[in-house]
């Protein structure tokens, strides 16, 4: 495991925090009703944009959080690896994932 904070905390601490954050992320998505097949299907038929709004908000909050942590010096951006973008595999994967969501919604 490599991370900008790797020398700060132990591996056990990283795993505990990841497990805790993952649990609460899933818990709150479930409480908001985002695991409902009807809600996901309505997203693809442009009848309900709640999922899009929440996911877009999460991306913006993460982006601002990383920028803030970098600005105050708590995160060294030179240590953060950003993999190259491959458009065609991501496009095909997104279409397959979307098709799976639609099929799962029925």
Which helix (H) or strand (E) segment holds residue 96: the answer is helix 87-105
Full DSSP string of 19-88: HHHHHHHHHHHHHTTTT-HHHHHHHHTTS--HHHHHHHHHHHHHHHHHHHHHHTTSS-GGG---PPP-HH
Residue 51 lies in a domain: yes
Q: Is residue 1 part of a domain?
A: no
What is the token pair recorded at 65?
């959080």
Tokens of 18: 């990841």
Residue 27: the pLDDT is 92
pLDDT in tens, 37-92: 788 778 878 898 888 898 899 899 999 999 998 898 888 888 888 889 999 999 99
Task: Provide the residue range defining the domain that includes 72.
Answer: 32-105
The answer as to whether 63 is a domain residue is: yes
Instruction: Please check whether residue 12 lies inside any domain of the structure.
Output: no
Is the CB of residue 33 less than 8 Å from the CB of residue 39? yes
pTM of the model: 0.59
Residue 10 lies in a domain: no
Cα torsion 83, 86, 90, 92 to 10°: value is -160
Residue at 36 is within a domain: yes
When divided into structural domains, the chain yields a total of 1
Residue 81 placed within a domain = yes
Report yes or no on 82 lying in a domain.
yes
């Amino acid at each position: 495991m490599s991370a900008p904070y790797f020398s700060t905390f132990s591996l056990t601490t990283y795993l505990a925090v990841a497990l805790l954050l993952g649990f609460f992320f899933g818990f709150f998505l479930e409480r908001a009703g985002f695991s409902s097949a009807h809600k996901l299907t309505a997203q693809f038929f442009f009848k309900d944009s709640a999922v899009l709004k929440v996911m877009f908000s999460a991306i913006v909050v993460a982006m601002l959080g990383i920028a803030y942590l970098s600005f105050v010096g708590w995160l060294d951006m030179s240590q953060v690896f950003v993999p190259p973008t491959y458009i065609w595999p991501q496009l095909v994967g997104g279409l397959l994932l979307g098709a799976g969501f639609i099929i799962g919604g029925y």
